[in-house]
Amino acid sequence: MSGVVLDGKKINQDILNDLRPRIEALRAKARAPSLAVVLVGNDPASQIYVRNKIKACQDLGIRSLDATPSAEIGTQDLLGIVRRFNNDPQVDAVLVQSPLPKHIDEREILLAIDPTKDADGFHPFNVGCLVANWPAPRACTPAGVIEMLKRYQIPIAGKRAIVVGRSDIVGKPMALMLLHENATVTICHSKTKDLETECRRAEILVAAIGKPALITRDHLSPGVVVVDVGMNRLSDEPEVQRLFAHDARRIAAFAKNGSTLVGDVEPLAMQEVSAAYTPVPGGVGPLTIAMLMANTVRLAEQHLA
């Protein structure tokens, strides 16, 4: 028996539809919310992601500004772009797309973003607000996961939640958000001993470690809710055949494209063992964009109050 599919595309649309009347109210009162995106260089994955963000803005009626400096830009010049958006009263939210070129001081750029315009929720001030459970922009991907669990009416309070991965972008904020929802939370990572045993304790398992199909059937207990944050591109044919032998459409798409996406959890195991799970793609990914829009609207409401 397969688990229930947690459809990120549906929840994305539900969140965006909830934002529409709030955006209209802002337009009627003063102006549309606005998001400024800084994309350095021409990384293909970043370009696609930024394009999706801009499209979401256009669909909702959010004003989108973008700066696209070359990969050769220095830290000081990039700081100048960030400060220009900080100082523009027409800009509500600022996002600097990562990864940045290695010669740029990423920490300095992050610290330069006005915390009241921090679209991603990554500024240390806002991370501190998350720790204290004070209102502030939240990291988009884990905030989207919480939103999805709530909208599917999956209980969190009192549940044993295991987060695999400790990144500043997903793992750490995910653990804090689950804790604020009264889950009992364990964080696992590359130095965790006996990962299988730890994961089997989970009633909610969030995999965000960035390694294709690292979590196998041996890691999952029957009835677990699996949230697979991983987005790993596979081009190794034997590995694709092994992971997707059950999925003729995926094999055919791989034969056509030469690669396919897989999460951090073995797909068939996740489907067969879980009570509910997020597919890859189409699970967590769409939620990140939706929560970025939600952060932008919330910041605009604060600026225009």
* Domain boundaries, given as residue ranges, for the chain: 31-117, 140-284
Pick the CATH number of 31-117 from 3.40.50.10860, 3.30.930.10, 3.40.50.2000, 3.40.1160.10: 3.40.50.10860
Predicted pLDDT of residue 117? 98
pTM, two decimal places: 0.95
User: Which residue ranges of the chain lie beneath pLDDT 50?
Assistant: none
Q: What is the pLDDT of residue 6?
A: 97
> What local confidence, expressed as pLDDT, does residue 189 receive?
95
| The pLDDT of residue 2 | 79
Which pLDDT does position 96 carry in this prediction?
A: 96
Same fold, 31-117 and 140-284: yes
Which residues are identified as catalytic?
Answer: 53, 97, 120
| Pair 287, 8: CB distance under 8 Å | yes
| pLDDT tens, position by position, 214-262 | 999 999 999 999 999 999 999 999 999 999 999 999 999 999 999 999 9
Q: Is 148 exposed, middle or buried (0-12, 13-18, 19+ CB in 10 A)?
A: buried
pLDDT given at position 222: 97
Given this model, what pLDDT does residue 1 score?
55
| Centroid of chain to Cα 184 | 22
CATH superfamily of 140-284: NAD(P)-binding Rossmann-like Domain (3.40.50.720)
pLDDT (0 to 100) of residue 102: 94
CA distances from 141 to 80, 122, 228, 293 (A): 28, 12, 11, 12
- Per-residue pLDDT reduced to its tens digit, 38-49: 999 988 878 888
